[in-house]
DNA sequence: AACGGTTGTAACACAACTGTAACAAAACTA
DNA sequence: TAGTTTTGTTACAGTTGTGTTACAACCGTT
């Protein structure tokens, strides 16, 4: 009944620019294009909604501290324990997003911890990065065999460790944040903020663009209206779920009506009744 | 960039990872099967239903051959290409389960390939292991940033490579296959919410889909109408038991009447008089 | 102040889906 | 074989979910 009588909480909405306006200035939380920055910091924060939690299991204080400092600097939340038992307790209390595990521990061996973690359902899929003294290949193989995800030799480069931590965390969230997304002949460039189909440039309104971006980030997967609302409109928006439908309609129109002619192309967006929408090759 | 460390004999590997619960925030009651497993190779075969396919992108013939030999010996199916273009073509033709990518390629650089692969929806989640000459740390960081999953320095140990290949595939299995249910040539994807028989996509109504999902969760097992009612309609529904029959009928129709023709395929759903229904290969 | 592009909502139309009842056809029992 | 129980099949009316359109508010620009 009441047409937009409410005040927009944030005045941060950008509208019409000529060519392809978009979310550039519009600091929408979840539509951030991939940044060329080195560590995944801001990126990971937005993906988890909180700094990823890393558990460091390392008995040599100096090294532990080094790792902790380094990761903290990159926006991770770290906890350090020096012994295997403590590690298991810490995990019991709160399951971390990633574990950095020294192989040579005083009491319970790294391998034992690894095995225990893999045995439990809650921790089965938590990535484990082993750290061990130089080239003990047998150890390394053993570690992989027990279900470790990655392996770093001491002495290691902090950059390398960072990179591996980022990679491991990225994997748990399957999507790699690339700035080019392709599905069939649909190409979305999250950096240039452009979309084209079959080489032909399309014009999308900002919301349409973010919607398409959300869909193309996980192609084939069905996204519910709620999920899209939080991705496209932000977690704290009071927009009706049906609004998504209208924007899907607009997006479809923009994608499928090539040129100005009345011709209609096959549809990329699939409606899944009772569930939501997904994008896939028609 | 020649030397490799010697080939250690053993091919013994184990992997003890099960599936992790798939979060389906959209649909109604869904549950995921969890299987236990032990041996990696036999396991990999059974998970994929075929030997995992590995694409090796490496211009130095000797090294390529060495890797190929080694992986083949361990039950992987390998394809070798020497250039970036070829790699992209090969992937176009058939998406491999894993890619081993040399960083230093003659024409198109490894990084470029990596980027291209990450852009395309079909290859976005294929794990990539980079291989590069001695500690070019900058390269490594770059690689991870572009979405590589792992990194191996030349000269590398074949055992290490094997271990990393296994670990990467194990991860794919965990994250990727968790939401796939298969019975015969029937495949249900709980994430994409799709069902196909013999590769042919089928259309199911929501209730039919949930019903099939319930049946496929425990193939071969007979589920009573009550049990199906609670799984599909929820524990607190006041739906007649006979309604199940009607939906089974609809589901059968959808599954067995391929295409639009009048032809009828063998039936996957078995009626057990006095007990209920079960799904199994016809 | 007017304007063109954009956005969220409401309202209606339409197609798809759902549960039930009723009858037909098996399957079992005696 | 006749009688009984269980399942298959069909039709239908009510319900729900989506597509579509129109519209007023909004924003930045002119």
Q: How confident is the model at residue B47 (pLDDT cuts 50, 70, 90)?
A: low
Q: Which range (A29-43, A67-81, A219-233) has the least confidence?
A: A29-43
Q: How confident is the model at residue A20 (pLDDT cuts 50, 70, 90)?
A: very low
Q: Which of B11, B131, B130 is nearest to B72 (CA)?
A: B11
**Nucleic acid strand D: bases within 7 A of protein CB:** 6-11, 17-29
Buried b (16+ CB within 10 A) or exposed e, B57-92: bbeeeebbebbbebbeebebebbbbbbbebbbebbe
Q: Between residues 127 and 146 of chain B, which touch chain A (CB distance below 8 Å)?
A: 137, 140-141, 144-145
Reported as a single tens digit per residue, the pLDDT across B157-194 is 999 999 999 999 998 887 777 789 999 999 999 999 99
**Whether the predicted pLDDT of A171 surpasses 50:** yes
> Chain B partners of A183 at a C-beta cutoff of 8 Å?
120-121
**Whether the predicted pLDDT of A11 surpasses 70:** no
Write down the domain spans for chain B.
46-176, 180-279
**Whether the predicted pLDDT of B48 surpasses 80:** no
State the DSSP code for B28.
S
CB-count exposure of residue B264 (10 Å: 0-12, 13-18, 19+): exposed
Mean pLDDT of all residues in chain B?
83
Under a CB-based contact definition with an 8 Å cutoff, are residues B105 and B84 in contact?
yes
C-alpha gyration radius of chain B = 23
Q: What count of residues does chain B have?
A: 282
Question: Residues of chain B with pLDDT > 90: what percent?
Answer: 64
**Whether the predicted pLDDT of A23 surpasses 80:** no
Q: How confident is the model at residue B259 (pLDDT cuts 50, 70, 90)?
A: low
Under a CB-based contact definition with an 8 Å cutoff, are residues A152 and A160 in contact?
yes
Please list the residues that pair with B276 across neighbouring strands: B272
| pLDDT score, position B133 | 80
Strand order in the sheet with A98-102: A77-81, A53-57, A98-102, A128-132, A150-153
Strand B276-279 and strand B269-272: pairing? antiparallel
Whether residues B206 and A38 touch (CB distance < 8 A) is answered with: no
Size of interface A-B (CB pairs under 8 A): 127
Could you tell me which chain B residue has the CA closest to the CA of A128? B167
Angle at B212 between CA B208 and CA B215, to 5 degrees: 140
**Whether the predicted pLDDT of B34 surpasses 80:** no
Q: Which nucleotide is nearest to B270 (CA to C1')?
A: D7
Residue range A49-172 in CATH 3.40.50.300:
no
**Whether the predicted pLDDT of A26 surpasses 80:** no
Please list the residues that pair with A276 across neighbouring strands: A272
| pLDDT score, position B154 | 85
Under a CB-based contact definition with an 8 Å cutoff, are residues B174 and B19 in contact?
yes
Q: Which of A135, A238, A155 is nearest to B157 (CA)?
A: A135
Under a CB-based contact definition with an 8 Å cutoff, are residues A209 and A195 in contact?
yes
**Whether the predicted pLDDT of B74 surpasses 60:** yes
| pLDDT score, position A175 | 60
Whether residues A147 and B25 touch (CB distance < 8 A) is answered with: no
Under a CB-based contact definition with an 8 Å cutoff, are residues A138 and B157 in contact?
no
| pLDDT score, position B204 | 98
Q: How confident is the model at residue B134 (pLDDT cuts 50, 70, 90)?
A: low
| pLDDT score, position A134 | 63
Q: Which fold has domain B46-176?
A: Rossmann fold (3.40.50)
Whether residues A137 and B160 touch (CB distance < 8 A) is answered with: yes
Task: Pick the most confident of A154-158, B28-32, B175-179, B217-221.
Answer: B217-221
- At A72, which helix (H) or strand (E)? helix A61-73
Reported as a single tens digit per residue, the pLDDT across A110-154 is 888 999 999 998 898 899 999 987 667 888 888 899 999 999 888
Q: Which range (A201-205, B120-124, B151-155) has the least confidence?
A: B151-155
Q: Which of A63, A60, A67 is nearest to A158 (CA)?
A: A67
Q: What is the CATH code for B180-279?
A: 1.10.10.10
Q: What is the CATH code for A178-279?
A: 1.10.10.10
**Whether the predicted pLDDT of B1 surpasses 90:** no
**Whether the predicted pLDDT of B57 surpasses 70:** yes
Taking the CA of residue A216 and the C1' sugar atom of nucleotide D14, their distance in angstroms comes to 38
């Amino acid at each position: 009944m009441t047409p937009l009588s409410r005040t927009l909480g944030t005045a941060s909405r950008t509208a019409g620019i000529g060519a392809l306006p978009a979310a550039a200035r519009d600091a929408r939380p979840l539509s951030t294009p991939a940044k060329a920055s080195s560590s995944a910091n801001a990126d990971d924060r937005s993906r988890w909604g909180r700094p990823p939690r890393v558990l460091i299991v390392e008995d040599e204080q100096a090294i532990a501290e080094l790792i902790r400092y380094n990761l903290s600097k990159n926006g991770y939340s770290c906890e350090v324990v020096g012994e295997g038992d403590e590690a298991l307790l810490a995990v019991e209390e709160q399951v971390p997003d990633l574990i950095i595990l020294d192989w040579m521990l005083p009491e319970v061996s790294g391998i034992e911890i690894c095995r225990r973690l893999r045995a439990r359902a809650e921790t089965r899929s938590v990535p484990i990065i082993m750290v061990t003294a130089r080239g003990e290949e047998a150890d390394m193989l053993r570690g992989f065999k027990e279900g470790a995800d990655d392996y770093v030799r001491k002495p290691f480069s902090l950059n390398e460790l960072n990179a591996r931590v980022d990679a491991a965390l990225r994997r748990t969230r399957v999507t790699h944040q690339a700035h080019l997304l392709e599905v069939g002949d649909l190409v979305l460039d999250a950096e240039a903020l452009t979309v084209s189909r079959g080489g032909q440039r399309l014009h999308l309104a900002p919301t349409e663009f973010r919607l398409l971006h959300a869909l193309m980030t996980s192609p084939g997967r069905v996204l519910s209206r709620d999920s899209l609302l939080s991705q496209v409109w932000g977690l704290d928006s009071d927009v009706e779920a049906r609004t998504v439908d209208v924007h899907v309609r607009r997006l479809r129109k923009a994608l499928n009506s090539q040129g100005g002619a009345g011709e209609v192309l096959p549809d990329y967006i699939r409606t899944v009744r009772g569930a939501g929408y997904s994008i896939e090759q028609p």
